Amino acid sequence: MIFAKLRRRRSTGEGTHRPERNGSGAFLPPTPLDSGVLSCQVHDERGTLVPGATVTVVDRFNKEIAQGDTDTYGYFVAALPPGTHKVSVVAGGYRRFSTRTEVRVNQHTSIGGVELKADDSLELPQPGVYRFDPYHTEIRFVAQHVGMSKIHGMFKNFDGLIHVAPNFADSRVEVVIEAASVDTGVEMRDTHLRSADFFDVENYPKLYFRSERLTQLRGDRWTISGNLTLRGHSTNVQLDTTYLGQRKWQGPGFDGDLRVAALATTTLRREDYSVNWQATLAKGIAVVGPTIDIQLGVQAVHEG
């Protein structure tokens, strides 16, 4: 009898919330019979929506019952068991937000707008010139090997300067890379990469990057736009950058050096730099694919 009633309720929709719009115009999912729905929308102090913020929900026994990232519009929605739960929201460059809320069976509970405040520990660096520390900076790349596996490599020799302006958005980044220092761990492949098929180091020994502008997206996320010159061709690229903060490093050989750190990524297309990957495939040479993911992990030391 009880199972027949439940089957009728599921088939007719009795006892469930059909998809409905909340105040923001977003559709809510159907509410399961034995749980409720929790939602929120995350923004910063300027009212800018924060996608990619991580929302974690734990129950009264401190057991995690839900976790997910906010969508493009800063929304998080989850079906949860009933009870009083702790909700935490974290995102890079912001202080953690925590609150408690009660979720009821077959009801929608909205926390509403969650405002994240800036993390003061990620204060922007003081104006001056910062030089890449070669011992704590890496320039790496990942490429497809003719669509079958991945090749990981790095450049061993490079130099970089960050000119921090009083208005941080006016700062400049300059990087010079020795093309011949490419290293994928396979000498035959590295020799090929240095050849005219790829970097052509005999005619173009260096790669150059010069930024044109820095744009803050939110919190610790920035976009660095600039030009990359490779094989004599310059193309605009954007580095998706996470600012990791600054600190003074005390230790043997380090007299309280002020350092800044960041992580940046971008994707390059080799045809933008006159590298004909189809021609190299036609020669029967095992080569990397047409796109290359670049990863920069940077520590830079204040020079004055």
Looking at per-residue pLDDT, the higher value among 255 and 190 belongs to: 190
Q: What is the pLDDT of residues 63-84, one digit of tens each?
A: 999 999 999 999 999 999 999 9
- pLDDT number for residue 15: 40
What residue ranges do the domains of the chain occupy? 2-118, 122-302
Looking at per-residue pLDDT, the higher value among 1 and 216 belongs to: 216
Cβ contact 225:212 at 8 Å: yes
In 3D space, the residue among 199, 245, 249 whose CA is nearest the CA of residue 222 turns out to be: 245
Superfamily for domain range 2-118: Immunoglobulins (2.60.40.10)
Q: Domain 122-302 is in which class? A: mainly beta
Residue with tokens 């400049």: 172
Read off the pLDDT of each residue in 162-174 and give the average, rounded to a whole number.
95
> CA 75: distance to chain centroid?
18
What is the amino acid identity at position 273?
Y
* Tokens found for residue 74: 């800063």
Q: How far apart are CA 287 and CA 295, in angstroms?
A: 20
Residue with tokens 């439940």: 6
- pLDDT number for residue 255: 61
Whole-number CA gyration radius for the chain: 26
Q: What is the pLDDT of residues 195-221, one digit of tens each?
A: 988 889 999 999 999 999 999 988 899
Domains 2-118 and 122-302 share a fold: no
Cβ contact 229:204 at 8 Å: no
Cβ contact 68:55 at 8 Å: yes
- pLDDT number for residue 288: 57
pTM over 0.75: no
Looking at per-residue pLDDT, the higher value among 46 and 10 belongs to: 46
